[in-house]
A and B are shown apart, each in its own frame.
Chain A
């Protein structure tokens, strides 16, 4: 998969929830190449923050040539992005990583998103043809609930504080609803993915999960962002790169650290 450097004009950059921003970037080339589940590297250009920020693709608008990302302000880099006005340009490298595997169609699809892991699942949802059962969790209010509904999904909501939907986490929600599925797709905090994977295994549902790890280059060179993966048939695990071998892995191949 070819990767390119492109200067992106910011077309929109709006706070949609406390410290969560939705940014539309004009990326005619990258938007043409990208698929759901991939990410882009956005550079701050600041001397102190030397590394790019790897951010998942929320939506791809290949017709307009735009990529939408939704990010949370967690440090200096994302704080800088949040203050960039419409019209300013950011350096972007992408598309990076492998997307979700959509080579097979499934009748019943379960999609599980947590917190700032929800955005890439919106683009994913557009490309799934069968029934879609979407489970979203967040501290107080999951983002993009309506977007999933508009894409024809049956949406179930939970929150840590009980502000929206069921009070609890997405695994409790899954246990409550007990959906049937032929494939599960998930993105969210590592601890959530660990228990979603366990739930999928217990219910004999294969799961594609999108992982995250601290990375430097995003293109497979620095070998910084590894996770322990044991491929089917292998006698031992290996450290694979989230950026190049992932970010999407089959959940039964992931070795979870405690």
Chain B
């Protein structure tokens, strides 16, 4: 049997395997610690954190759709202070890396939270400029290339950790947005965030979500995500964290072959609380079975 090396490196941070969690689907890990060994996950990407607490949107916030789901949570979170005092000490008990997803309504708020988290005991920051569920900030910053470059450049001035920029798929040309993020100073990219979607309750004649529109995720979106990761990896040199509909290790390998360095498990956590570690195990098994010593051998092998 071959000696395999599952480690991956993003911006000098070494992760034991390429598996992380999609922000907002894994809390800060605590909720899943009954089901999985968090030490088996390369990095935990936590739910979005803002400088002050956010209340989020009205309920209903969840709608199931064919092969996926919609959410309109609106980045409800207890704020940076709570996160630093409660979630970081929890995660520090485990041998995993911490990626903090940061959000804001304005460039100033993004800079504030980037500055706060730069002094916290975390490994990387993920800039969320792609949430479809907040009226100001979020996706408004992530869908126009000059705006992407501007917000990334501003945040970089305050960010002392490697900065991942999370991209929205709700754009005409994902490569244009990816290039803008990189020229603004992004150290890595993650994609895709959710696709904007809607579901109507035909009996009540109104949308299921109180917010009317929400973010579409789950296995149904995977082909869109693989395509976008593939296109982005062809046009930028920074590492890419691929996500969108990954529910098993075969899906994860697809993203790696499309060019992703790491992969995030999102909605699959709701379908199977053990999804993260099962995918980590499955990737190892695939490597053994296919005599792959290092994932770099298959990363981006698709022309």
Residues of A with Cβ closer than 8 Å to B? 2-5, 43, 47-52, 93, 213-217, 219-227, 238-239, 244, 257
B269 in the interface, Cβ–Cβ < 8 Å? yes
Contact A49 B64 (CB under 8 A): yes
Closest 7 CB pairs of A and B: A224-B62, A221-B27, A221-B31, A214-B62, A214-B60, A216-B270, A217-B270
Q: Are B62 and A239 in contact (CB under 8 A)?
A: no
Supposing A93-B273, A223-B73 touch, asked if A50 and B64 sit within 8 A by C-beta, the answer is: yes
Secondary structure at the A interface, as helix, strand, loop or mixed, is loop
The answer to whether B67 touches A216 (Cβ under 8 A) is no
Q: A226–B219 contact, CB under 8 A? A: no
Known interface pairs A50-B69, A225-B61. Does A239 touch B270 (Cβ–Cβ under 8 Å)?
Answer: no
Q: How far is the CA of A93 from the CA of B26 in the complex (A)?
A: 16
- Decide: B35 and A3 in contact? CB cutoff 8 A: yes
Q: How far is the CA of A3 from the CA of B34 in the complex (A)?
A: 6
Judged by a CB distance under 8 angstroms, whether B6 is at the interface is no
Q: Which residues of chain B in 268-295 are interfacial with respect to chain A, using CB atoms and an 8 Å cutoff?
A: 269-274
Q: Which residues of the other chain, B, contact A48 by a CB distance below 8 angstroms?
A: 66-67
Partner of A223, one of B56, B63, B269, B271: B56
Q: With A222-B270, A226-B61 as known contacts, state yes or no: A50 contacts B55, CB within 8 Å.
A: no
Q: Is the CB of A224 within 8 A of B25?
A: no
Residues of A contacting B274 with CB < 8 Å? 5
Extra pairs beyond A51-B64, A214-B59, A222-B71 (16, CB < 8 Å): A43-B272, A49-B64, A50-B69, A50-B267, A51-B270, A52-B271, A213-B60, A216-B71, A219-B31, A219-B273, A220-B31, A221-B32, A222-B73, A224-B71, A238-B55, A239-B76
How many cross-chain pairs have Cβ atoms below 8 Å apart between A and B?
99
Write out the residue numbers on chain A whose beta carbons fall within 8 Å of the beta carbon of B61: 214, 223-226
- Highest count of chain B CB atoms <10 Å: which of A3, A50, A213: A50
- Are the CB atoms of A225 and B62 closer together than 8 Å? yes
* Least CB distance, A78 to chain B, in whole angstroms: 12
The dominant DSSP class at the B interface is loop
A239 touches B25 (CB 8 A): no
Interface residues on chain B, number (Cβ under 8 Å): 35
B219 CB contacts on chain A under 8 angstroms: 47, 50
Hey, which chain B residues are within 8 Å of A214, CB to CB?
Answer: 59-63, 208
Residues of A within 8 A of B27 (CB): 220-221
Asked if B136 CB lies within 8 Å of chain A CBs, one says no
A-B contact pairs, 10 of them (CB 8 A): A47-B67, A47-B219, A48-B67, A50-B67, A93-B35, A220-B31, A222-B270, A223-B56, A227-B59, A239-B55
Note all chain A residues with C-beta closer than 8 A to B67: 47-48, 50
CB contacts under 8 Å to A, within B1-35, are 24-27, 31-32, 34-35
Which residues from chain B contact A4 at a C-beta distance below 8 Å? 34-35
Bound together, the chains give a CA A20 to CA B32 distance in angstroms of 32
Residues of B within 8 A of A (CB): 24-27, 31-32, 34-35, 47, 55-56, 58-64, 66-69, 71, 73, 76, 208, 218-219, 267, 269-274
Contact assessment for A50 and B68 in the assembled complex, using a CB-CB cutoff below 8 Å: yes
* Set of chain A residues within 8 Å of B47, measured between Cβ atoms: 221, 223
Q: How far is the CA of A214 from the CA of B73 in the complex (A)?
A: 12
Nearest chain B CB to A91 CB, angstrom units: 8
Determine whether the beta carbon of A222 is less than 8 Å from that of B273.
no
Q: Would you give the shortest CB distance from B10 to chain A, in whole angstroms?
A: 24
> In the bound complex, what is the Cα–Cα distance between A4 and B267 (angstroms)?
19
Identity of the chain B residue whose Cβ is nearest the Cβ of A227 in the assembled complex:
B59
* Interface-central residue, A3, A93, A224, A227, by most chain B CB under 10 Å: A224
List the A residue with the shortest CB-CB distance to B29: A221
Closest A residue to B62 by CB, please name it: A224
In the complex, chain B residues whose CB is within 8 Å of the CB of A219: 31-32, 34, 273
- Nearest-CB distance from B36 to chain A (Å)? 10
Q: Which of A43, A217, A257 sits near B31, CB closer than 8 Å?
A: A217
CB distance from B39 to the nearest CB of A (A): 18
Give A52 Cβ to nearest chain B Cβ, in Å.
8
Complex Cα gap A3–B274 (Å): 13
Q: In the assembled complex, how far is the CB of residue B31 from the closest CB belonging to chain A, in whole angstroms?
A: 4
Q: Which of B31, B35, B69, B76 makes the CB contact (< 8 A) with A51?
A: B69
B residues in contact with A257, CB < 8 Å: 58
CB-CB under 8 A from B56, the residues of chain A are 223, 226, 239
CA A205 – CA B269 in complex, angstroms?
41
Residue from B59, B76, B270 in contact with A50 in the complex, judged by beta carbons closer than 8 Å: B270
Q: A222: which of B24, B64, B208, B272 is its contact (CB, 8 Å)?
A: B24
Q: Which of B32, B62, B271 contacts A215 (CB 8 A)?
A: B62
Q: How far is the CB of B233 from chain A (nearest CB, A)?
A: 27
CB contact under 8 A between A50 and B71, given known A214-B59, A221-B25, A226-B56: no
Chain A residues within an 8 Å CB radius of B208? 214
From B34, B35, B271, contact of A43 by CB (8 A): B271
Q: Which residues of B contact A50 (CB under 8 A)?
A: 64, 67-69, 218-219, 267, 270-271
